[in-house]
Structure 1
Amino acid sequence: MTKEQTKSNENKNTTKKRLASLDALRGIDMFWILGGEKIFAALFILTGWAGWQVAEMQTLHSQWHGFTFYDLIFPLFIFLSGVVMGLSPKRIDHLALSERLPMYKKAIKRLLLLCILGIFYNHGWGTGLPASFDEIRYASVLGRIAIAWFFAIMLIWHTSLKFQIVTVASILVGYWIWLCFIPVPGGNAGILTMHGSWNAWIDQHFLPGISYQNRATDPEGLLSNIPAIANAVLGVFAGRLIAKAPTLGECKAAGILVGSGFMCLALGWSWDLIFPVNKDLWTSSFVLVTSGWSAIFLGVFYVFVDVLNYRKCVYPFVIIGANSIMIYLASSIVNWEYIANSIFGGLVLSGPETWQPLLSIFSLLAVQLLLLHWMFKRKILVSV
């Protein structure tokens, strides 16, 4: 075997190891959606300690301006999709069109499929897709992930790293200028309210169907897709850094990630003074704050899972992350609570009354984890 082949194999093995930390972090991100967000309320019932109520507040979305850790779940997922792309970025604009077409078709197919699945997810929980097109909610979490991923991969395929950096800066500054300094038709500039923002005006005039809870501004509305692209591209930069870890040094790469994360937090919260952190508007300050936390968590997980090799400790999160899209969609069409009660209901009711809420959550998570464990061991990994 030649020296070049040996180096290539080492790089491939390193990439595979890195994916363990990505799966673990993606899994802990999904854990809160699957039922983990109810743990703190159950612990408060069990212990009566007020600290659990404080923790529970972090499992609720901000009402408007502001930030909770539950607001991080969505942008972290987008950031991690960028990390995966950044692990092995490649330009294809030098290839002949006939060679690029299959890649374009695959990207467009993924974009459309995720958008369609997002629409079906919106109408789960036993309600079904409305017969009238005007009653369908088209904006979705999966749709935003798809759009951010699609534009990020197009940038990777066709532009240089320098151009991508300029693009992120232009998106963040341009979005700030748009929302804060350009008047809304029939209104004023800089109105960042549910009904008076540019986001509300565009959703009301151009977003088909209905919005989330019939709000004036849909949290996954049209305009806020633009800054979400920056989350994905910032994830690409993080992936590029991790890809260089074998030569740069694993701990050094993780240190740069964490340091960059704190810089983003400082910039984001400084910007918050004039452009508030807001999830529904997906403000530029929100992009920086969420990307900052994403980079910090990625650096920590990379060291813990891949460098120190504590994979067994995070195995439940790894199996969630490995099939994150599947279990996310299943949460909309499968009644997990009914299944958990059918299997563990008797055991839960036999416990002390103060323990029952916590035991119910554990039973709910156990059913989902057992399925994911079975799929993981048989290498059944569902991806789009």
Structure 2
Amino acid sequence: MERASNGQRERLLAIDALRGFDMFWILGGEQLFAALLLLTGWQGFALAAAQMSHAQWHGFTWYDLIFPLFIFLSGVTLGLRPLSLPALPAVARRQRYRKAIKRLLLLCLLGMIYNHGWGTGMPAAPDEIRYASVLGRIGMAWFIAAMIVWHLPLKGQLWAGAGIALAYALLQGLWPEGYSAAGSVNAWVDQRFLSGGTYQNAPLDPEGLLSHLSAAINALVGVWAGRWLSQPYSLWRRSAALCGAGLLMLALGWTLDGWIPVNKILWTVTFVLVSCGWSALLLALFLVLVDGLAWHRFGGLFALIGVNAIAIYLASALFSWDYLVSSLAGGLIAALPGSAQMVASVCALLALQWALLWFMARRQIFIKV
């Protein structure tokens, strides 16, 4: 990603590194703490391992941050290159709209493929297709944010974001059955307007229709963070401001939790605040470490994932990594003590994925949507 500085544009490795760090935890990194607990027995790893699964309903864990952080970073890249469509010629505007729609549709299609398409397979079972998906949510959140950013000045963007947040909070809060799983307004919308199946056949889908609106706020906050990063201030000042904004959002989100629970599945506005708060803090941290203190090897290691994040995410569903690890290193792993085998398996899995990503980067193969 790039930023403006002294009239030039220089690459911010921290953004690709943070995106890769985010993806690392769903590619196999989430198994590390359980494996280390088995190896060492230290209960600190048990506490860390507990953060590697989603909150059951209300609440927040580290694993809950992975998805909104990716959406936030998609907004950052949008904000680094601010664009006003009304100022462009009609031909250029149409081209932008076509690209945005194609990106949205492609992400929705790839999300269905990740969900394994036609449910139980052929013959096709359209009523079993899960149309909602993680990639579809990323596409919708980015698309909504892009339409706002491309057509409104900064003040209008702020009003639009605040309006969406207020309307969404009132709709959820005033709904007769409030924040229940089966009776929420999100469930009502999904049951009536979302075709096909839902995740685990639940009453509502965690990537369902209504919560696209609040997820778009994560992207919008990312846009504003990207705009701030493009300002001609020192990296330390920009990082400090991001840190302050992150702490403020965290404080506000947890203060409002008594009235509007922090809930990922419903993607409540307090969940938006908490997830954006942590996203801003992590972005500030990576800016300091990678671009400020020049931890380029650390940043480059995770950037290998970040520059091909969508490709490796899809590969995690389309290929059996465990089978590959077993085929290539199964004998060696089996020769280790039982308590060390899980750690070795996880490390082998991550090494295999990193090797593929390194090969793709060396060959200049970057698959982006």
What is the rounded CA distance, in whole Å, between the counterparts of 2:347 and 2:138 in structure 1? Answer: 29
Query: AA paired with 1:41?
Result: A
Q: Is residue 39 of structure 2 the alignment partner of residue 46 of structure 1?
A: yes
- Change in Cα spacing, 1:152 to 1:345, as seen in structure 2 (3 Å) is same
Q: Identity over the aligned pairs, expressed in percent?
A: 51
Q: Is residue 241 of structure 2 the alignment partner of residue 248 of structure 1?
A: no
Q: Is residue 317 of structure 2 the alignment partner of residue 324 of structure 1?
A: no
Contact 1:123 1:129 in 2 (8 A): no
Q: How many angstroms does 1:151 deviate by?
A: 1.2
Contact 2:148 2:160 in 1 (8 A): no
Q: How many angstroms does 1:110 deviate by?
A: 0.4
Classify the secondary structure of the residue corresponding to 2:276: helix
Q: Is residue 52 of structure 2 the alignment partner of residue 67 of structure 1?
A: no
What is the rounded CA distance, in whole Å, between the counterparts of 1:130 and 1:225 in structure 2? Answer: 31
Consecutive aligned runs of 4 or more in structure 1 exceeding 4 Å deviation = 7-12, 126-130
Contact 2:52 2:63 in 1 (8 A): yes
Aligned counterpart, 2:364: 379
Specify which of 81, 88, 110 is matched with residue 88 of structure 1: 81
Query: AA paired with 2:213?
Result: I
Specify which of 93, 96, 117 is matched with residue 110 of structure 2: 117
Could you tell which deviates more after superposition, 146-155 or 280-289? 146-155
Aligned counterpart, 1:3: none
Classify the secondary structure of the residue corresponding to 1:93: helix
Contact 1:120 1:129 in 2 (8 A): no
Classify the secondary structure of the residue corresponding to 1:248: coil
Classify the secondary structure of the residue corresponding to 2:214: helix
Aligned counterpart, 2:164: 171
Contact 2:51 2:62 in 1 (8 A): yes
Query: AA paired with 1:99?
Result: A
Aligned counterpart, 1:296: 281
Q: 1:230-252: per-residue Cα shift (whole Å, max 9, x none)?
A: 000000000011111xx221100
- Unaligned ranges ≥5, structure 2: none
Q: 1:325-373: per-residue Cα shift (whole Å, max 9, x none)?
A: 0000000101111111111111111111110000000011111000001
Once the two structures are superposed, the pairs formed by residues 183-202 of structure 1 within 5 Å of their partners are: 183=175, 188=176, 191-202=178-189
Q: How many angstroms does 1:95 deviate by?
A: 2.2
Classify the secondary structure of the residue corresponding to 2:25: helix
Classify the secondary structure of the residue corresponding to 1:300: helix
What is the rounded CA distance, in whole Å, between the counterparts of 1:365 and 1:39 in structure 2? Answer: 10
Specify which of 176, 192, 198 is matched with residue 205 of structure 1: 192
Aligned counterpart, 2:17: 24
What is the rounded CA distance, in whole Å, between the counterparts of 2:299 and 2:166 in structure 1? Answer: 38
| TM-score, reference length from structure 2 | 0.96
How many corresponding residue pairs? Answer: 367
- Unaligned ranges ≥5, structure 1: 1-6
Q: How many angstroms does 1:290 deviate by?
A: 0.1
What is the rounded CA distance, in whole Å, between the counterparts of 1:341 and 1:135 in structure 2? Answer: 32
What is the rounded CA distance, in whole Å, between the counterparts of 2:108 and 2:92 in structure 1? Answer: 26
What is the rounded CA distance, in whole Å, between the counterparts of 1:353 and 1:130 in structure 2? Answer: 43
Q: Is residue 145 of structure 2 the alignment partner of residue 158 of structure 1?
A: no
Classify the secondary structure of the residue corresponding to 1:355: helix
Contact 1:30 1:321 in 2 (8 A): yes
- Change in Cα spacing, 1:92 to 1:130, as seen in structure 2 (3 Å) is farther
| TM-score, reference length from structure 1 | 0.92
Query: AA paired with 2:219?
Result: A
Contact 2:236 2:288 in 1 (8 A): yes
Q: Is residue 253 of structure 2 the alignment partner of residue 260 of structure 1?
A: no
Q: Is residue 219 of structure 2 the alignment partner of residue 226 of structure 1?
A: no
Query: AA paired with 1:377?
Result: R
What is the rounded CA distance, in whole Å, between the counterparts of 2:129 and 2:62 in structure 1? Answer: 29
Q: Is residue 342 of structure 2 the alignment partner of residue 357 of structure 1?
A: yes
- Change in Cα spacing, 1:47 to 1:134, as seen in structure 2 (3 Å) is same
Classify the secondary structure of the residue corresponding to 1:192: coil
Q: How many angstroms does 1:299 deviate by?
A: 0.6
Q: 1:206-263: per-residue Cα shift (whole Å, max 9, x none)?
A: 100010000001100111111001000000000011111xx22110000000110000
RMSD (Å), alpha carbons: 1.8
What is the rounded CA distance, in whole Å, between the counterparts of 1:118 and 1:161 in structure 2? Answer: 31
Query: AA paired with 2:169?
Result: W
Could you tell which deviates more after superposition, 29-38 or 314-323? 314-323
